[in-house]
């Protein structure tokens, strides 16, 4: 990885731990293994580093049209998978979603950074909103919608069902971001949530 990119990487790590204002260009340089003034050969100033991180993230986001597409397949193909689904595979889906969000290094650091910086300006608030509200809900709505169409789930209000699916996942995610030690506990809760979700919305029980 070239220096220019390593700067972004280390900066993101630091920003996600302490927030932009509490990270010194010195810290970043040190981690990269160069001296602070050398940073300026690559970026105009500290703010430019931050901006570049946001840009990079926007690019990734464009490319895969949503980090939620875990399988790296396009949504219409995913559909096949959900045709013959049962409780267990549904639980797997939720868990994988959660674990992806939780462990994917880039995603995790970016989310934490955004959590800290979201109130700084409208644009950042918007990015957060897109990443952790609009996108997940709309993508999952599509998937769960397919499952409704397949008769695996049943509801007359897919968006709200999706909210019921996603909101607990999101909440548990924030818990783990704050206290990584609670991951196991969260995973247990997550599983109970998914099982209950299936009981509530699943057709198989009736």
Partner DNA sequence: CTTGACGGCTAATCCGAATTAGCTTATAAT
Partner DNA sequence: ATTATAAGCTAATTCGGATTAGCCGTCAAG
Helices (H) and strands (E) in the chain, counts: 11, 0
Q: Minimum CB separation from DNA for residue 44, in Å?
A: 7
**Stretch of 11-19, 54-62, 67-75, 96-104 contacting its own copies, by CB under 8 A:** 11-19
Residue 200 is a binding residue for its own copies (CB under 8 A):
yes
Q: How far from chain centre, in Å, is Cα 191?
A: 19
**Stretch of 37-45, 46-54, 61-69, 153-161 contacting its own copies, by CB under 8 A:** 153-161
Task: Out of 5, 17, 38, 65, point to the residue binding DNA (CB under 7 A).
Answer: 38
**Stretch of 44-52, 86-94, 105-113, 179-187 contacting DNA, by CB under 7 A:** 44-52
Alpha-carbon dihedral 56, 131, 119, 173, rounded to 10 degrees: -110
* Distances, alpha carbon 132 to alpha carbons 8, 98, 108, 126, 180, in Å: 22, 12, 12, 10, 19
Distance (Å, rounded) from C-alpha 25 to C-alpha 37? 9
- # residues contacting its own copies (CB under 8 A): 40
Task: Out of 23, 90, 186, 194, point to the residue binding DNA (CB under 7 A).
Answer: 23
Alpha-carbon dihedral 15, 116, 50, 99, rounded to 10 degrees: 70
* Distances, alpha carbon 106 to alpha carbons 20, 47, 53, 71, 145, in Å: 17, 20, 11, 17, 29
- Residues interacting with DNA, by CB under 7 A? 2-4, 23-26, 29, 34-38, 40-42, 44-47
- Residues interacting with its own copies, by CB under 8 A? 16-19, 21-22, 112, 115-116, 118-120, 125-126, 128-129, 133, 155, 157, 159-161, 163-164, 166-168, 170-171, 175, 177-179, 189, 192-193, 196-197, 200-201
């Amino acid at each position: 990885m070239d220096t220019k990119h390593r700067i972004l990487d280390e900066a993101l790590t630091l920003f996600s731990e302490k927030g932009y204002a509490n990270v010194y260009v010195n810290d970043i340089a040190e981690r990269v293994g160069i001296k602070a003034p050398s940073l300026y050969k690559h970026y105009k100033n500290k703010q430019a580093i931050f901006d570049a991180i946001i840009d990079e993230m926007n690019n990734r986001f464009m490319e895969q049209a949503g980090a939620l597409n875990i399988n790296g397949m396009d949504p219409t193909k995913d559909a096949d998978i959900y045709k013959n689904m049962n409780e267990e595979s549904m639980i797997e889906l939720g868990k994988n979603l959660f674990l992806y969000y939780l462990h994917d290094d880039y995603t995790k650091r970016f989310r934490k950074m955004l959590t800290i910086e979201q109130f700084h300006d409208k644009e950042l608030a918007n990015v957060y909103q897109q990443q952790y509200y609009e996108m997940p809900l709309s993508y999952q709505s599509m998937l769960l919608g397919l499952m409704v169409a397949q008769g695996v789930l049943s509801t007359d209000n897919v968006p709200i069902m999706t909210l019921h699916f996603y909101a607990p996942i999101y909440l548990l995610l924030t818990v783990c971001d704050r206290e990584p030690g609670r991951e196991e506990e969260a995973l247990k809760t997550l599983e109970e949530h998914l099982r209950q979700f299936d009981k509530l919305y699943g057709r198989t029980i009736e």
